[in-house]
Structure 1
Amino acid sequence: MAIESAEQALQILHIEDSPADQGLTRIILRRAGMACQIHPVDTLEALQKALLDQSFDLILADYHLPGFTAVDALALVAPLDTRPPFVLLSGAIGEAAAVDIMRLGMTDFLRKEDIARLPTVIKHALEMHEAYRAREQAVAELAQSERRLAELAEHLQSSIEKERAAIAREIHDDIGGSLTSVKFDLAWITRNAPADQPLHAHAVAALEMLQHALGASQRIMMNLRPPVLDQGLVAAVQWLAESFERRTGVAVQMRTSSERIAASPEVQLVAYRCAQEALTNIGKYAEASRVEIDLSDREGFLTLEVSDNGVGMTPAQREKPRSFGLRGLHERARTVDGWLDVSSQPGNGTSIIVSVPLPDH
């Protein structure tokens, strides 16, 4: 049945019960110079065997065959991992019916009276199939790339938090302890050195600088990994709100559904960091006079909302290059299967909502 013998010949499975139509198809493709091999079948059993025995580059099918139709044939082809393009070559159905059939997954339709166009239709079907496969591969590669980026982001966030905790412990145990010891020594000098001696004045100045260094180390340690998180998320966010209010003079109102929210340490840390980043952005850009924080664990979700009455943002400002604050919050939320929503309009403030599903208790 070979039209033309070639190592790279196109393998065509022809579902057709008419020997005359089989012969005409071979003649048309031969005259078009197509290097292909045609494998005719006319029963479902023969079709199943052919599909099991080898793979095909294209399937060409009449619609009505003894005991089955092209729709039945398509049902056998559809589950194949490498499904070839399926071209309907029939004169027994109308255009409308052919369109309905093609919606089931057929690649193209050609009337038998137009069989002279078959080589063109086959080439078009193969091109469409190749484009579809390339698109599927690109989508799969993109999805894989996004998964890898998400895994990398999660790994980086986890590594950063571990490093922050380690640095905070070092500041507390080593630097804080050393500075406190020096503070005691300087305090002893100020108490025992005569007040009118230069040593006393130097000791007092050094003690003031040391107190400043202690305060700075405590602030750095709290920003890295606040011990207040060990008291729960509500207490940690409350501390954030109070610190922000003292530092900026912007009034902060906080509401919570309960005094303690049961959530994993990972979820609490994500919510805390989101609140911290939101307040930092408000202090830098919002020009707000009021901030509201809502923290809830109702309906199986941990929800944190930080809103302000500041200048707001345009879509362009939110999407500007190298603006990683909000993108970082999105990635943080995604590491615990949560999501982040930002609502903002110029002149109407900004609202940032983080939602994370909580496990059933």
Structure 2
Amino acid sequence: MASGDLDARCTAESSDELGRLAARVNVMAERLGDSTASLRESERKYRGIIENSLEGIFVLDRCGALREANPAMARLLGFDSVDSLMAAQAAPSSSQDAKRLPLSDDEVARLFALLEAEGKIAGLEVEITRTDGTTAWCLLNARDTRRRGVSAALLEGQLTDVTARKHAMETLTQHRDQLEQQIRERERTEAELRDSREKLRQLSAHQESIREEERKQMAMTIHDELGQLLTAIKIDVSLLRLLLSQGTGWTGKLAEMGELVERTIHIVRNVASHLRPAALNFGLVSALEWLMQDYSRHSAITCQFRLEGREPTLSDDHATAVFRIVQEALTNVSRHAQASHVDVVLHGGDEGFDVTVNDDGIGFDVTRAMEGGSYGLQGMRERARMIGAQLQVTSENDVGSTVRLSIRDIAEKPNPFVWSDEGR
């Protein structure tokens, strides 16, 4: 029995004390056999659970070496079997297999420190190294094997591979961040769109008010000056008819009528020029030269125009837009720049042309003017956008300002609203 043969029995030949002792030893042997069989069955069940578990179950010492592991742990670390894993753990220190430890020395020390402080580890995310050098993320649940008052020597743990879940969470987080960024970008774009719509509405209202003011000025000019002159001519014609009938004093009256007619013609030409300069019919250069002359007559600022290169060939709409932009720039110089001199330069080439308006005034804050609703600058920018040009405005305090209009592609696109004789 002492050697492990629990089937052996004592022979009871008497009923004395030795006989009764032998009977009791036999009963003890039977019970011990039953306990051993139960223990073996429990061990078999426990071993089956460990062997068939999908989680890696292991025992780790303070040196970071695995003392025990189940097949799932071996597969998690990249080994074919537990034997190959243990062989790698038992390899000499000079071997490459010695580097195939699941955790670094610092991580092992941290885990044992947590065990000593809290007595267990629950749901700790750790990064382990596989035999091929790749890493995997796992959730660790562990407890120590120490007795009371003795430091933990071994760590019994269970690892659950959450690499796919972690990558999925990272991907989900990236998608969430991208979605949030897209939402912020969309909100910013919508805000800019609302702001642009508001500025466009204000610009349209301002342009409409300008048109109404121009109509008012033209109506007053025609009514007050042209109407009076025409009335005076009508009266003079009546007087001339009377004088002619009398045969006296008609020569002086004819001279007065000629002067009234000349003034009327001059007013009509001024009104027509403000509506659309006739010089535009002869090209952009002629229109800009006329604008410089008219600007010099009505302003104390010295204005010079210079053509560099060749004159660009533009459609009527493009030439009008360029003319109005230069006109608005000169108007701004007169109103705000306090300048003494302004230069307008048209530089034409094979690939396009530039128009520059440069003054020596006090300058201004371009950004603040645009944000503050400068309708003049907004109108210039809108005209430039309509003809596909680039408008750049720069300014420096006490130095002056520069407005540059650049068109690189001056090829004309067909107007979809122009009727042709073909297919009509």
Q: What TM-score comes out, normalization by structure 1 length?
A: 0.52
Relative to 1, partners in 2 of residues 1:313 and 1:177: Cα closer, same or farther, differing over 3 Å? closer
- Aligned counterparts of 2:129 and 2:335: Cα–Cα separation in 1: 69
Aligned-partner residue type, residue 290 of structure 1: H
Q: Superposition RMSD on alpha carbons, in Å?
A: 5.2
Aligned-partner residue type, residue 185 of structure 1: K
Aligned-partner residue type, residue 313 of structure 2: A
Pairing 1:185–2:185 present = no
- Aligned counterparts of 2:264 and 2:229: Cα–Cα separation in 1: 10
Aligned-partner residue type, residue 304 of structure 1: V
Match of 1:233 among 284, 290, 294: 284
Q: CA deviation at 1:339?
A: 1.2
Structure-to-structure mapping, 1:90-239, within 5 angstroms: 111-113=137-139, 115=162, 124=173, 127-138=176-187, 141=190, 182=231, 184-188=233-237, 218-239=269-290
1:97-149 CA-to-partner distances (Å, cap 9, x unmatched) read 99xxxxxxxxxx99334849959868855642541342354366468768978
Where 1:111 maps in the other structure, the secondary structure is strand
- Aligned counterparts of 1:123 and 1:360: Cα–Cα separation in 2: 49
Relative to 1, partners in 2 of residues 1:226 and 1:156: Cα closer, same or farther, differing over 3 Å? farther
Q: CA deviation at 1:303?
A: 1.3
Q: CA deviation at 1:274?
A: 0.7
Q: Is the 8 A contact 2:370 2:377 kept in 1?
A: no
Q: Is the 8 A contact 2:230 2:264 kept in 1?
A: no
- Per mean C-alpha deviation after superposition, the further-off stretch among 218-227 and 122-131 is 122-131
Q: CA deviation at 1:286?
A: 1.5
Match of 2:328 among 274, 277, 301: 277
Q: Is the 8 A contact 2:342 2:357 kept in 1?
A: yes
Relative to 1, partners in 2 of residues 1:306 and 1:127: Cα closer, same or farther, differing over 3 Å? same
Q: CA deviation at 1:185?
A: 2.8
Where 1:311 maps in the other structure, the secondary structure is coil
Match of 1:41 in 2: none
Q: What TM-score comes out, normalization by structure 2 length?
A: 0.45
Match of 2:343 among 292, 315, 321: 292
Q: CA deviation at 1:256?
A: 1.0
Where 1:304 maps in the other structure, the secondary structure is strand
Pairing 1:245–2:296 present = yes
Aligned-partner residue type, residue 254 of structure 1: F
Relative to 1, partners in 2 of residues 1:287 and 1:193: Cα closer, same or farther, differing over 3 Å? farther
Aligned-partner residue type, residue 301 of structure 2: V
Relative to 1, partners in 2 of residues 1:128 and 1:192: Cα closer, same or farther, differing over 3 Å? same
Q: Is the 8 A contact 1:312 1:348 kept in 2?
A: yes
Aligned residues, how many? 247
Q: Is the 8 A contact 1:278 1:352 kept in 2?
A: yes
Q: CA deviation at 1:233?
A: 1.0
Match of 2:404 among 311, 329, 353: 353
Q: Which has the larger radius of gyration?
A: 2
Structure 1 unaligned spans of 5+ = 1-18, 22-88, 99-108, 195-202
